[in-house]
Amino acid sequence: MITNNKKARRNSGQRELIWQLVAAVNDHPTALQIYDRLRHDSPTASLGNVYRNLAILVEEGRLARKTLRDGIEHFDATTSDHCHFVCEQCCTVSDLDLPLHAEITAEARRKTRHDIKGHTIQFYGLCTRCSKENQRLKSPSTKKGRNQ
């Protein structure tokens, strides 16, 4: 009994830590990224526990789970519907402050018999950092070995 209580307390402590990790940066980390970050503070953390705690946080409505274009599940502390931008090169995910159109949800509901609750839009392409980096690599003036 006592051991179980202790375990439960440690778990909920770790759960708070996980939530804080996701909310603090809001870069939509994957479970593996969360596990890596968590290990800095709690070296004894296990990946299984991270998965379990993430599932509970999603169930409690404190985190949203989103499978994005890269096919990997990301965790988001912003649980309301919103748009995302995913960079195809560096895979960073960021929020996009764009209005969502309620009429699309209503129309989708009308056209199907599904109990549709909302929608999200996902944009993809190159982030500013990647497109700058690509241009730098293409530009002849920065080519290495020019003087050799």
In 3D space, the residue among 83, 65, 78, 93 whose CA is nearest the CA of residue 120 turns out to be 83
- Contacts to Zn ion from residues 100-139, by CB under 5 A: 127, 130
What are 75's strand-pairing partners? 65
Q: How far is the CB of 144 from Zn ion (least distance, A)?
A: 22
Residue linked to tokens 């700058």? 132
Nearer to Zn ion, 89 or 122 (CB): 89
CA-CA distance, 70 to 91, in Å (whole number)? 7
* Binds Zn ion by CB under 5 A, chosen from 71, 87, 123, 139: 87
Candidate segments 45-53, 81-89, 103-111, 134-142, binder of Zn ion by CB under 5 A: 81-89
Nearer to Zn ion, 15 or 76 (CB): 76
CA-CA distance, 54 to 15, in Å (whole number)? 8
Give the residues lining the site for Zn ion (CB under 5 A). 76, 78, 87, 89-90, 95, 127, 130
